[in-house]
Structures are given as structure tokens and as C-alpha cells.
Amino acid sequence: MERVKDLNELYNGQVECVLEKCERSGKCFLVQQSSTNVCCPECLTCSHMGTEHQNDEVWYDRVDPCNQYTCKDGVVTNWRNKCTNHCQKGVQIPGYCCRLCVLPYITSDPCVRCDLVMNQYYHCYRTACPVLGCAADQQFRSINKLVCFIHLHQIRTYCNDCKCCAECVSYPQKALSLSTSVTRKGFLSCSFQKQEFPQGKTVVIDPCTKCHCSNGTLLCRRFTCPSKHCDAARLFYRKDVCCGFCSITPRNCKVVFANGTRTVMEVMFI
């Protein structure tokens, strides 16, 4: 993207207009309201505990490394990573959430990450996804598409349908009119998905996510579901329940009784 920069250069006695090339802000669904002195749009940042964080920035709790935070479209999302605990003799090292294993955890679950540590161990855990600034009908998750993470190439020869988190269908980069509503105590309200929430308001985004407006920043707490031991095709969700369930598959079984009679029973297997 190129925009005319408000700068004139004198070259051989002539005024020359210079185009400034802006970095692609396609990862931002919302951008900050541009001032007169800013040429390129900037991604909306997050404020948390007195620190400003950039869009897509990830950080961890200083005391509990299992607590992960991320900034996305001005919203801070927090969740607790769940360890796979797939090895019995793992090594616990300070600064890491889970025990480190010699072998990675092999699973078809795209939300399970196995990071290579010190070139000899795997730190495997199930993660969650950030709250998006776009409405639910504007979100999608890649299906039947080769979308791979770098860490998966180390343990798989191929990678299919391995996109854990949803994304916004399009990034219109509309300037966000930051809320100017101030409560009597001097706190800012929060803007989210074209709605405005007052200071201290708690909002339930989905069965797994609850958000709280704190002085202009929406802080969301998202529950991380455990990994399921079934194929994605057998995973289903119930209304108002956070985590999914593995469907039960019926199987026919022949039973022979002592008197020689036979019957066919339908037995359920998970």
C-alpha cells in the first residue's frame, strides 16, 4: 500500500512529492484513528497493567508461565495453557508451563503445540485463541487447506487442516473511533464489535469466554478445553457448553448364549 506522504523535497530547485510505502496492516481488523501527522494506518494496541502491547503480541504471567496473554484488535485475551502430560519422565524447568519431553505429542488436534526447547526437548501444550474484533458471522477457520505452523514441520511429513484459530473474513482497516465516554469516576468505556460497554461491565462472548471492561480496554478470560481423543469429524458441541464431546459410534456385536441361540446387539463405543 502506498500513500502520499505530507513531505516535500527540494530537488534541483523543484518540489518533489515523495510516496511513503506503508507496511501491510492486513493482520488488523481495526486500526487506530489516524492523526494529521501520521501517514500510514497503525494497528490498534492494548493496554494491560500499565504496559502498552502491540497487535498480535504474546506475553506470559511472570509468576505462572501457564497463563498466556495476547493482544488482538485492542482486546487482551488471557487463557491457561493445558499440558498434554504425555511423558512420565518429563523434565520440569522453571519458566516453562509443562514438563519437557524427549518426544513430541502426536495428535491431529491443531490447537496442540509442541515447541522445540534447547534442541532436545519438546514443550507440548494445548492453547486457546484470541478474541477477535469482528462479529461471529465474519469469522472463518481454514478447512481443507494446507495451513501449517513451523513447529509442525519438525514432527510431520505433511500437514492438513492444522489451523487452530479463526480469523476475520476480511480486514477493512476501518478507523476505530476510540470511545470518549468517561464515567463519573474518570474511567473510559470499551468499544467492541460496534458496541460500547461501560466501565466495569462484564460481557459473555461465548460459553468459553467472559470479558470485563477496564478503563477502555476489554480484558477477556478464555477457558482452554482439554484435547479430545477422537477425530474432528466425531467432535460435536452442545448449546451453552464450552468444550466439545466425542460422538458415540454404534457397532453391531454377535452374542452366543449357552443354549446355542445367537443374537445381534448394538454396542456403543466412544
**159 or 251, which is more confident:** 251
Q: Is the pLDDT of residue 11 over 70?
A: no
Q: How confident is the model at residue 67 (pLDDT cuts 50, 70, 90)?
A: very high
Q: Is the pLDDT of residue 40 over 70?
A: yes
Question: HEC string of 132-186?
Answer: CCCCHHHEECCCCCCCCCHHHHHCCCCCCCCCCCCEECCCCCEEECCCCCECCCC
Q: What is the 8-class DSSP label of residue 126? A: E
Q: Is the pLDDT of residue 145 over 50?
A: no
| pLDDT confidence of residue 162 | 57
For the chain, give every domain's residue range: 26-228, 229-270
Beta-carbon contacts of residue 150 (< 8 Å; ≥ 6 apart): none
Compute the C-alpha angle 42/48/53, nearest 5°: 30
Q: Which of 224-259 are b and which e, b meaning 16 or more Cβ less than 10 Å from the residue's Cβ?
A: beebbebeeeeeeeeeeeeeeeeeeeeeeeeeeeee
| pLDDT confidence of residue 261 | 66
Closest CA to 45 of 70, 13, 26: 70
Q: How confident is the model at residue 154 (pLDDT cuts 50, 70, 90)?
A: very low
The predicted-structure confidence for 166-204, as pLDDT tens digits, reads as follows 888 765 445 444 444 444 455 788 888 888 899 999 999
Strands 67-72 and 209-214: unpaired
Say which range, 51-60, 117-126, 163-172, 221-230, has the weakest mean pLDDT: 163-172
Mean pLDDT, rounded, for 63-67: 96
Closest CA to 1 of 19, 21, 18, 17: 21
Strands 245-246 and 190-192: unpaired
